[in-house]
């Protein structure tokens, strides 16, 4: 029978030759003081008798999950698995450290104390390393984030990366749609960054800057979530730069769509309007079509998308794309203003189709951030617009958690 003061025992490997004691035994007064400071009053777990059988272990783990996270847990594991999967455990158990003096034994497993780790996080990490992960793990992706952090600490991110792929695919196959709140997206980015998953990071970062709002203060919750996960501030700074750069690019192609319309019809392409600070190209068309140019450019101006380079207000990139799409649909000829020339090239311009095609091409070519370049601090402005050719990571549909968001339907863009 276990001592009433002994930590719960979770058996990951029944033949394990090592017991990890995870967490810190704090006094009741210390815990109550901490809970009071956090505004929480957690109920303490009572320790039941625990044997060494799998049934007892499963029952103990279920009891733990029902209650608050325990202060400490003992986890029976295979020392061989732990040293094979983790260079940190290998250094501890095979090296000259004090832990290296432990004699691993399946009869009387020695105890290795890990007071700084979270008990339940280490239970799940050990299960994954032993290929016995819990299929009913908690809410995703929040359940995966602490595991990724622990994996980074113990140098086993490659293994956890494979588990994360499997778990992500499981969630996508479920009838319900993955939650895509900004907090969840920040956690996905954090997990991909910590696990050094360049492909996933490329896709998640693309989805993040599409939703980034350029108005000050509207991304604070998202930024706080990234910082809470100990990501360097350069991550959200680069996402902000990317959103601003692509908004400027969208404003440029939105006005240039008119130039393409004229070029395709053999018309004079444009003339230049000069101000004290800039020069702006404006398409030159016949008199009867001038109102369409004026209406289109005024609408872009109202959206702060023309002349490009101006402050884009509070629009996110995906909202701006949606606005231009809606604007394109309104560009229809007015029969009362058609000229009387036969086969007039200007009157026959397919405004809506051309603008829509330009926007489609723009959105299809959007790319995420290159994780390799980001970590080595090599992200020039040109790389924000042009995809990194050195590391050809593709924003795969596999990693889209925002598949329900469609820039053709504004209602789907609500956070």
Query: Can you give the residue range of the structural domain that contains 102?
Result: 7-23+70-120
Which is nearest to 199 in space by CA: 234, 183, 153, 191? Answer: 191
Residues of the chain with pLDDT below 50 are: 1-5, 27-29, 31-32, 36, 38-53, 66, 310
Question: Do the domain assignments include residue 144?
Answer: no
Given 95, 120, 145, the domain boundary residue is 120
Given 120, 138, 159, the domain boundary residue is 120
Alpha helices in 26-70 (DSSP H): 28-38, 54-66
Q: Is 236 exposed, middle or buried (0-12, 13-18, 19+ CB in 10 A)?
A: buried
User: What is the pLDDT, as a whole number, of residue 69?
Assistant: 63
Question: Do the domain assignments include residue 86?
Answer: yes
Residue with tokens 């560009």: 331
Q: Are residues 107 and 245 in the same domain?
A: no
- pTM score: 0.78
Q: Are residues 398 and 251 in the same domain?
A: yes
Which is nearest to 2 in space by CA: 53, 42, 43? Answer: 53
CA dihedral (108, 113, 117, 120) in degrees, to 10, reads 20
Q: Would you tell me how many other CB atoms lie within 10 Å of the CB of residue 303?
A: 18
Give the helix/strand (H/E) hosting 111.
strand 111-114
Q: What is the pLDDT of residues 317-338, one digit of tens each?
A: 998 999 888 888 776 655 555 5
Question: Do the domain assignments include residue 150?
Answer: no
Q: Are residues 246 and 114 in the same domain?
A: no
CB 367 within 8 A of CB 172: no
Question: Do the domain assignments include residue 39?
Answer: no
Question: Do the domain assignments include residue 146?
Answer: no
Alpha helices in 211-316 (DSSP H): 220-228, 234-264, 290-302
For 83, what's the count of Cα atoms within 13 Å in the CB-facing half-sphere? 15
Question: Do the domain assignments include residue 333?
Answer: yes
User: What is the pLDDT, as a whole number, of residue 66?
Assistant: 47
Q: Which whole-number Å values give the CA distances from 72 to 38, 114, 253, 386, in the listed order?
A: 20, 9, 59, 50
Question: Do the domain assignments include residue 80?
Answer: yes
Given 101, 120, 139, the domain boundary residue is 120
Question: Do the domain assignments include residue 213?
Answer: no
Q: Is 39 exposed, middle or buried (0-12, 13-18, 19+ CB in 10 A)?
A: exposed
Alpha helices in 41-134 (DSSP H): 54-66, 79-85, 87-94, 119-129
Task: Give Cα 402 to chain centroid, integer Å.
Answer: 10
Cα–Cα dist 62/217, whole Å: 42
Q: Are residues 241 and 386 in the same domain?
A: yes
Total domains present in the chain: 2
Cα–Cα dist 287/248, whole Å: 30
């Amino acid at each position: 029978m276990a001592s009433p003061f002994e930590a719960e025992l979770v058996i990951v490997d029944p033949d394990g030759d090592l017991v990890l004691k995870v967490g810190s035994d704090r006094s009741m007064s210390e815990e109550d003081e901490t809970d009071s400071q956090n505004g929480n009053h957690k109920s303490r777990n009572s320790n039941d008798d625990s044997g060494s059988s799998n049934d007892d272990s499963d029952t103990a783990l279920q009891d733990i999950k029902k209650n608050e996270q325990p202060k400490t847990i003992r986890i029976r594991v295979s020392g061989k698995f732990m040293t094979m999967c983790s260079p940190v455990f290998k250094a501890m158990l095979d090296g000259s450290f004090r832990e290296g003096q432990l004699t691993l034994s399946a009869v009387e497993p020695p105890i290795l104390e890990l007071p700084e780790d979270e008990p339940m996080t280490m239970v799940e990490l050990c299960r994954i390393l032993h290929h016995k992960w819990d299929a009913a793990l908690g809410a995703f992706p929040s359940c995966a984030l602490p595991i990724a952090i622990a994996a980074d600490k113990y140098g086993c991110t490659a293994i956890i990366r494979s588990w994360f792929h499997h778990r992500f695919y499981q969630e996508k196959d479920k009838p319900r749609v993955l939650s895509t709140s900004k907090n969840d997206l920040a956690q996905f980015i954090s997990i991909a960054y910590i696990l050094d998953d360049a492909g996933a990071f490329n896709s998640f970062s693309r989805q993040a800057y599409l939703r980034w709002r350029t108005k000050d203060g509207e991304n604070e919750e998202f930024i706080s979530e990234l910082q809470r996960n100990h990501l360097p501030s350069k991550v959200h700074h680069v996402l902000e730069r990317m959103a601003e750069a692509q908004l400027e690019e969208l404003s440029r192609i939105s006005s240039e769509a008119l130039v393409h319309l004229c070029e395709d019809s053999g018309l004079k392409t444009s003339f230049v309007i000069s101000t004290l600070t800039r020069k702006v190209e404006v398409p030159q068309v016949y008199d009867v079509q001038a109102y369409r140019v004026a209406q289109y450019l005024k609408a872009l101006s109202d959206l702060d998308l023309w002349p490009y380079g101006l402050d884009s207000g509070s629009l996110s990139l995906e909202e701006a794309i949606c606005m231009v799409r809606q604007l394109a649909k309104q560009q229809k000829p007015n029969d009362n203003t058609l000229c009387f020339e036969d086969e007039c090239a200007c009157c026959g311009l397919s405004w809506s189709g051309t603008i829509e095609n330009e926007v489609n091409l723009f959105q299809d070519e959007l790319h995420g951030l290159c994780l390799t370049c980001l970590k080595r601090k090599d992200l020039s402005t040109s790389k924000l617009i042009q995809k990194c050719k050195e590391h050809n990571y593709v924003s795969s549909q596999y990693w889209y958690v925002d598949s329900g968001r469609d820039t053709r339907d504004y209602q789907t863009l609500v956070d």
